[in-house]
Structure 1
Amino acid sequence: FILMPTIHTAVRDSGEVVEDAVFAGLDFDYIGPNGIFMALICATLGVWLFAFAYKKGWTIKMPKGVPPAVADSFAALVPSALVMGAAFLVRIGFSFTEFGYFQDFVVAILQTPLEGLGDTLGANALYSFMCTFFWFFGINGPAVCNSVFFIGNVLTAKQLIAFEAGKALPYIFTNPFSNFFCNFGGGGSTLSLVILMVTVCKSERIKQLGKLSIVPGFFGINEPIIFGLPVVLNPVIAIPFILVPMMNLILSYFATLWGIIPRTTGVNLPWTTPIGFSGWLATGSWRASVWQIFLLVLGMMIYYPFIRTLDKKYLAEEAAAANESSEEDDISFDDLDLDNL
């Protein structure tokens, strides 16, 4: 709040700037999408500076016998004052620059270029690849990548503002787009895979795992497949696991660009919203639901030869295990040799 702009140029509802007219206060734009990067920077640097001062012992120490809650409150005074003082110095320093405020500097230099990058096919294709690539090694890909590629939160918030204002929707790559048009059933778009496991596979191992995973898969939960099939360190399944989300991303991008499906409205639905419902709720159009089903079937076609290869391998292993079991169980008292007793 110390670093936020508090003096603003007056603008009419039509967008016309009123000359020589300003107003004081907090602009909602700076505590909305344009404040996300600022909040991240302040939270990171503020906590680091507070912890640095606290570890250095720059605190007010109370005598023994003072309640811990009171002692902790006094101990936080100097580090907190240091953080606020640093914020005031930054604010004063930027008042002598062309930006005027540190937040305007962050928006112009960092956030705006990243917004342009975040709405490109190349950046999102790289994000999709890295998410599935990490999953191949047993690492939660989105949890890692979202800590870096969080520009989607800004684009989604701005998309919602434009939608509520009745303006043209500016972005394609929002969080709902990534959640509901690239991956069905979790990372790797494994809902296509699970349906094949239940319907066409003959291996008992795969069929039972598919039955256990089909319901969670409709809600985007696929850890049973990731670690149970497994996908982790499985070169056979890794190929479609990486390829299918990438295909969904590229096809959905061009489908949106060419008007086959509408752009998402920016409404942040839970990522567990099932296929069909999610497309309709995210865009307001039934065409998006039909598109999701089309991509699901297309994903099944790509997964099919790979899961059939794995199915044959597991069938052979199960047959070998069954033969060994039958040989061990085929024991008769006639085979006992009592002569050496």
Structure 2
Amino acid sequence: MTETAKQTRYSLCVSTDCISKVNCKNLQQITYTAYQIAKAACTYSVSEVIVLEVAQEKEESASISTNSPIRADSLLLASFLQYFVTPPYLVKSVFESNKQIDKKDFEVAKRLPKIPMLPFMKTDQTNYREGMSILKHRSTRKKTKSGKVKKMKKQDKMTKYVNIGGVKMVELNKEIPINVRVTVDLKKSEIISPLEAYGRMGTNNCYGYQVRVAKNIQSVFTESGFPDGYDKALFANSGEYFPKKKEAYRSSVDQWKGNETEEGNYLLVVTRWKDLVDSTRGTEINPVQMFDGWMEIPVSRAEDGCMIALCKAFKGNP
């Protein structure tokens, strides 16, 4: 990686439109689309991937359950994106607690090659290992007289044990919250920073990217994984096969000139402009006010657009 890459952190935002029925006809195509986005994000050391919920076609909307706070399509895309950066030995720990996720959806994903840019996916990685903090023994949650499950006490939410995929768990010298992903120094049996282990760190002190779902374009900005938010936001039109030359952003937002050399947190939104307009419909927000620049990329599918846009941003090419 170059020195610039180490100083500049990128967040990538894609919309649920990339796995809509127009773009993906089946689960296999959805899986492959998510895989290509994950590869692009890992290739350019993206710190955060955001799934933006956008308007659906009527037939798709009718099939979505309203019982969950997260829509089924956004949950599926987010789950795949997280799956591809999760070590195989941690998949069960990460996903088993979420009852909304059908584990059968990962059958195609299991057969795809591991993303080579992730050091913890290599079997010869001996000094450091990704782990998940767990309780040493599964405790049975007691119920109250009314039949409700008692809330966990604060001390029951802490543990010294980390699952690193081996026969034995790693025992730390101090307690940490349960269900937290950490990087472990196997020689010292202690938690270390991913920056120390791998030379790079994403959001929330984790290696690789973190995944979150945004209900609208406003949430993309207000719920940033970086405490200080984003220093600059760029837009790249992708997934639009017949783009209009008179879209508002072309005349109202400056075209990016390829001078991405400053330190800071950069947000790159790769989707159709129509999705952003629809996301702000009914509000006083104009999406053109949210961006510092737009990037010219060839007409492409969303997953290809992500790779092209990240390549341009990373190399500073307009």
TM class by smaller structure: under 0.3
Greater RCO (Cα-Cα under 8 Å, separation 6 or more): 2
Calculate the TM-score normalised by the size of structure 2. 0.22
Calculate the TM-score normalised by the size of structure 1. 0.21
Bigger proportion of residues as strand: 2
